[in-house]
Amino acid sequence: MEEPNKTQAATAAKALRASGTAWFLTAMLGQWLFVLYIAGFYGGAAAQGDFARWNDVLVGGYVAGGAIGNVALAAHLLLAAVITIGGPLQLLPWIRTRFLPLHRWNGRLYILTAIVISLTGIYMVWTRGTAGGAAMRVGISINGVLILIAAVSAWRLARARRIAAHRRWALRSFILVSGVWFFRVGMMCWILLNQGPVGIGGKGFDGPFVRFWAFGCYLVPLALLELYLRAQDSGSAPGRYAMATVLALLTLGTAIGIFGAAMGMWLPRLT
């Protein structure tokens, strides 16, 4: 007969897996809504040759005659759609077990995309600028550098067949690559919960919440991922239940943020 402690830990592991899956599926849906917006708004304008329309949203944006920056911007936007479709697919166990070659090729594409999107992003931040002040520029640049480190580490560990370590770094890459998405979803959740744009800073977009979230949008999810991995490894039932509860609340917060971002930022720009 199994020891009661072991049975409890196994039940807690199931609860943790269920809440992790609920969060992931919610996030995947929200990421694909983001892709719908990127393809519909930026792709739609590009298909009509109306690149200037991009600047309805962008701050640095498209500059007539500024070839290198425009190519970097166009590559960045195209790859934003590619990586946001491909990222969640990498994490679906169903694909890894049944279609390993797809996981390998999509993985290579993902790493390459992560590298180019980060480099073009850093270039754009420091040549054309972005919304907000110094915190936004420094915050997103550090995000870009961390994406490079995590994606290359995940790739090297996969090549060395160190699969447990590869999984950890792949999850870290996914969280870091999702930083810009977390920024939008987290901000909209905050605004909806506060019933107004508290701490956003008006047109300057440099209020206390924005300054905090410029770094928090990837550091907070990264810290939560580490707690999740520890809860999985620890074998402690209370630790697993605590993390499962946190994830259930995060799923709710993520769903609220996705709703806010879709209704307030993404879907209106598709009409």
DSSP code of residue 178: T
Count the neighbouring beta carbons within 10 Å of the beta carbon of residue 193: 13
Q: Shortest gap between Cβ of 153 and ligand HEM (angstroms)?
A: 16
Told to check if 27 binds ligand HEM by CB under 6 A, we report no
DSSP code of 137? H
Q: How far is CA 74 from the centre of its chain?
A: 20
Residue 79: partners with Cβ closer than 8 Å, 6 or more residues away: 113, 116, 117, 120
For residue 136, state whether it binds ligand HEM (rule: CB under 6 A): no
Among 8, 70, 141, 153, binds ligand HEM (CB under 6 A): 141
Cβ-Cβ contacts under 8 Å for 28 (sequence gap 6 or more): 88
Is 66 exposed, middle or buried, given 0-12, 13-18 or 19+ CB atoms closer than 10 A? middle
Reduce the secondary structure of 198-243 to three states and give it as a string. CCCCHHHCCCHHHHHHHHHHHHHHHHHHHHHHHHHHHCCHHHHHHH
* Residue 125 in the binding site for ligand HEM (CB under 6 A): yes
Q: Which of 16, 27, 45, 61 binds ligand HEM (CB under 6 A)?
A: 61
Q: Which amino acid is at 181?
A: W
Does 31 help bind ligand HEM (rule: CB under 6 A)? no
User: Could you say which of 72, 124, 171, 262 contacts ligand HEM (CB under 6 A)?
Assistant: 124
Residue 42 vs 228, nearer CB to ligand HEM: 42
Q: Is 19 in the site for ligand HEM (CB under 6 A)?
A: no
Assess 186 for contact with ligand HEM (CB under 6 A): no
* Site size with ligand HEM, rule: CB under 6 A: 27
When asked if residue 131 is in the footprint of ligand HEM (CB under 6 A), the reply is yes
- Closer CB to ligand HEM, 117 or 170, in the complex: 117
Phi, psi of 206 (to 5 degrees): -135, 30
CB of 84 to ligand HEM, least distance (A): 5
Q: For residue 250, which of 20, 13, 9 has the smallest C-alpha distance? A: 20
172 binds ligand HEM (CB under 6 A): no
Q: Select 30 or 144, whichever has its Cβ closest to ligand HEM.
A: 144
The site for ligand HEM (CB under 6 A) is made up of 38, 57-61, 76-77, 80, 83-84, 117-118, 121-122, 124-125, 128, 130-131, 140-141, 143-144, 147, 177, 180
